[in-house]
Amino acid sequence: MKVAILGYGTVGSGVYEVINTNKEIIAKKAGVGLEVAHVLDLRDFPGDPVEKVLTHDINDILNDPEVKVVAEVMGGVGAALRFTRAALEAGKSVCTSNKELVATHGCELMKVALEHGCRYLFEASVGGGIPLIRPIMTALHGDDIVHMKSILNGTTNYILTRMSEAGAGFEESLLEAQQKGYAEADPTADIEGHDAMRKTSILASILEGKYVSCENVHTEGISAVTAADFKYARKLHAGVKLLSVITRENGRVSAMVAPFLVREDNELYGVKGVKNASLICGNAVGDIMFYGSGAGKLPTASAVVADMAEAAQCMAEMSAAKQVPAWTEEPADVVPFDEYKSASLVRVEAADEQAARKSFKEIREVAPSEGEFAFLTSVMTEKDYVKAAEGLNIISRIRTDFVD
Amino acid sequence: MKVAILGYGTVGSGVYEVINTNKEIIAKKAGVGLEVAHVLDLRDFPGDPVEKVLTHDINDILNDPEVKVVAEVMGGVGAALRFTRAALEAGKSVCTSNKELVATHGCELMKVALEHGCRYLFEASVGGGIPLIRPIMTALHGDDIVHMKSILNGTTNYILTRMSEAGAGFEESLLEAQQKGYAEADPTADIEGHDAMRKTSILASILEGKYVSCENVHTEGISAVTAADFKYARKLHAGVKLLSVITRENGRVSAMVAPFLVREDNELYGVKGVKNASLICGNAVGDIMFYGSGAGKLPTASAVVADMAEAAQCMAEMSAAKQVPAWTEEPADVVPFDEYKSASLVRVEAADEQAARKSFKEIREVAPSEGEFAFLTSVMTEKDYVKAAEGLNIISRIRTDFVD
């Protein structure tokens, strides 16, 4: 199925890359392949492979009857709105990462899509690559969602993490974030909470099934948070996080974005740096959390492409019952256990130390305990492990999830 | 739409409860309501409201043309297999929490479903209420999943958490888990890793799109893990977790369940007690984690009911484009900001201490800092906060996510 991309910026080039890199995987999983027929951008990209499919004219896309799915990754609410509306009116599904457009015009655009038998999908508009909107929309049908607490902005979470761990001030941490490319030259939208506000508007509207506009999201940024606040937070075994908090009760909804003290025993406490996470509480499922990269070229592109695959299935009129089965009876090509690789923590009797050093060669000794010798092996196959362990009196062996 | 439940045990009664409690919510979200027409169980339940719909004969369900969706929550691979096959052959979709049946006969049953235009869904078979299978099947279409590391068994995770935190031995921790109802009288399936093995077989088969049988999952339990192992783990800033590790490389897959050292910087380290989690690494999305209750009556029922709602949409032949929109233009009933409730950490100038104590009444002082007075308020509305804060020289105020 032919698709088009509107905008060849960070996310747009990521979408182009993901579709091309994972072409076969997408076709296999979705049951329908994606082929980028057009990329719209005002700029030229001499020497970039995108040149073959680059256009400066939206009509090349709107008038191509073979293009059924369009990714809108331009941002803003000007041309993006006009192009999205036109594409939907032409019966093309549109998938977007544009949180501002979804938060302000999502309702109208979903309606246009419904009227024209296509879809308007926006998984990438909240939480970057974290599957968040789709699970809420499809996997929690049995639950009444009581509240949802989220970290939705990586820039502010990075700044607050630095203030917490390094005891640094706000200005200093912002500067560091800018130097590392985690904050923009004009960081207002992030640090004043506007970015998180738009995402909160989208999530609250989904949870409620009715529109919660940005004006209805009480929003406070993090520019007033100081190192002194963190000192008190530490005394309370807590950190400071910019939370999006949505609460549903008695048919009413409240939604806010503000700095909160979050205690060590809360799952969101451990969400550090530019990561995002959502803690959702349903009346049946209890607390569940979704966690991952909330921004970035490829993670965001991943979500856009997942939407494009769903839209493509939809445009190809694949009914759910005709979808690709979870697996077929064909046996997978399984790696023989002999070839599995891992490092291990091994304990042998003290008398075996020299023998162990000799047979395992590269080892890292772990602070000793009486009567035994404990060490970390290098990464090795099961076959090599068994060979090296032969003849040693092994007290215990536990594989490790890490390698130093 | 009429539905039936096979088995009125823990999960079955949970499914009955969730469908009845959240009836309106399910109908609104899914666009089609669920009504339990039959519950099959060999036992009688005198005085239980289920009596009205209870049957001892599977044919009451198979021969009722109005029943389109069936929940199989009996467990085992005997009657559960026969009934599931018969229901699918009668064109009824089946949703299950039965990991053993899915791991051993899933392929055949999905095929029967496909042939008869219905679905065989099993979100609840892995990770209880955590949406895991559906996100993998629908939200990561753009990604090549490189590896997946999971904690899939709450009983063993509880035992290992106790061994880690209390320095207790294995036998002692198992006994405690049994006393708390987290481990069965015969704990073999859990502690020897068989439960996690079945779940790993299901996940590996989904990731690969081909069948990875239980025989292909190398499985080691936790009964050999000792307090001494934890001492070494601590020296390495690690804990011991029973991990399910699935790795995909060069068209081959490896799958194992075994105790692993997991370091503090790994997201899975913080997964404690009976919680489950999956860390999935895709070549575009990077690391994402899903976390929640991996077992329990209502969480598991939540996943079964979400499957039933999806199956119902499918049986009602609702095409994706006709599905309920994420939200409508109707404005949500938003709580006025004045009525928002929270507790706060408040810092005032030292001179204002008495005034603050007077106006905020119930406060908890936080260890003092020079020149200021810091305290936690009780939970209060914004309106009451503003009133109490009037006239005080507030240095900072941060809301808290917790109440003591």
The residues of A assigned a catalytic role are 199
How far is it, in rounded angstroms, from Cα B401 to Cα B404?
Answer: 10
- Residue among B186, B251, B246, B252 at smallest CA distance from B218: B246
Parts of chain B belonging to CATH 3.30.360.10? 133-293
Q: Residue A259: is it exposed, middle or buried by C-beta count within 10 angstroms (0-12/13-18/19+)?
A: buried
Selected catalytic residue, list B68, B92, B99, B199? B199
**Rounded average pLDDT over A261-287:** 95
Adjacent-strand bridge partners of A396: A347
Are the Cβ atoms of A288 and B366 closer than 8 angstroms? Answer: no
Query: Is the CB of residue B261 less than 8 Å from the CB of residue B240?
Result: yes
Per-residue pLDDT, A325: 77
Q: Which CATH architecture has domain A337-400?
A: 2-Layer Sandwich (3.30)
Query: Is the CB of residue B1 less than 8 Å from the CB of residue B34?
Result: yes
How far is it, in rounded angstroms, from Cα A83 to Cα A72?
Answer: 8
- Give tens-digit pLDDT for A184-213: 999 999 999 999 999 999 999 999 999 999
Residue A175 has pLDDT above 80, yes or no: yes
As given in the structure block, the two tokens for residue A183 are 């904050």
Query: Is the CB of residue B114 less than 8 Å from the CB of residue A325?
Result: yes
Q: What is the ipTM of this complex?
A: 0.92
Per-residue pLDDT, A323: 61
Are the Cβ atoms of B252 and A333 closer than 8 angstroms? Answer: yes
Query: Which stretches does DSSP call E strand in B152-223?
Result: 217-219
Which candidate from A131, A142, A251 shows the least CB-CB separation from B18? A142
Query: Is the CB of residue A132 less than 8 Å from the CB of residue A290?
Result: yes
How far is it, in rounded angstroms, from Cα A165 to Cα A156?
Answer: 14
**Which chain A residues are Cβ-neighbours of B287 within 8 angstroms?**
292-293
Q: What is the pLDDT along chain B (404 residues), one digit of tens a residue?
A: 999 999 999 999 999 999 999 999 999 988 899 999 999 999 999 999 999 999 999 999 999 999 999 999 999 999 999 999 999 999 999 999 999 999 999 999 999 999 999 999 999 999 988 999 999 998 999 999 999 999 999 999 999 999 999 889 999 999 999 999 999 999 999 999 999 999 999 999 999 999 999 999 999 999 999 999 999 999 999 999 999 999 999 999 999 999 999 999 999 999 999 999 999 999 999 999 999 998 899 999 999 999 999 999 888 876 554 566 788 888 999 999 999 999 999 999 999 999 999 999 889 998 777 889 999 999 999 999 999 999 999 999 999 988 76
Per-residue pLDDT, A295: 87
- Give tens-digit pLDDT for A17-64: 999 999 999 999 888 999 999 999 999 999 999 999 999 999 999 999
How far is it, in rounded angstroms, from Cα A288 to Cα A148?
Answer: 10
Residue A151 has pLDDT above 50, yes or no: yes
Q: Is B92 a catalytic residue?
A: no
- Give tens-digit pLDDT for A340-395: 999 999 999 999 999 999 999 889 998 777 889 999 999 999 999 999 999 999 99
Beta-carbon contacts of A67 under 8 Å, excluding residues fewer than 6 positions away, are A2, A3, A4, A37, A38, A61, A92
Q: Does residue B32 sit in helix, strand or coil?
A: coil
Which candidate from A233, A332, A347 shows the least CB-CB separation from B212? A332
Per-residue pLDDT, B295: 87
Amino acid at A219: T
Are the Cβ atoms of A332 and B205 closer than 8 angstroms? Answer: yes
Per-residue pLDDT, A321: 44
Are the Cβ atoms of B141 and A290 closer than 8 angstroms? Answer: no
Per-residue pLDDT, B39: 98
Amino acid at B210: K
Percent of chain A with pLDDT over 70: 98
Give chain A's end-to-end CA distance (angstroms, integer).
45
Q: Does residue A177 sit in helix, strand or coil?
A: helix
* Residue of chain B whose Cα is closest to the Cα of A304: B142
Candidates A144, A252, A401, partner chain B, best to mutate (most B CBs within 10 A): A401
Residue A152 has pLDDT above 70, yes or no: yes
What pTM was estimated for this model as a whole? 0.93
Best CATH choice for the domain B2-129+299-322 from the list 3.40.50.1480, 3.40.50.300, 3.40.50.720, 3.20.20.105: 3.40.50.720
What does pLDDT average to over chain A?
94
For chain A, state the CA radius of gyration. Answer: 26
Query: Is the CB of residue A307 less than 8 Å from the CB of residue A123?
Result: yes
Residue A317 has pLDDT above 90, yes or no: no
How far is it, in rounded angstroms, from Cα B146 to Cα B281?
Answer: 6
- In this structure, whether the domain defined by B133-293 belongs to CATH 3.30.360.10 is answered with yes
Give chain B's end-to-end CA distance (angstroms, integer).
45
**Which chain A residues are Cβ-neighbours of B139 within 8 angstroms?**
123, 131, 134-135, 303, 306
Are the Cβ atoms of B325 and A137 closer than 8 angstroms? Answer: no
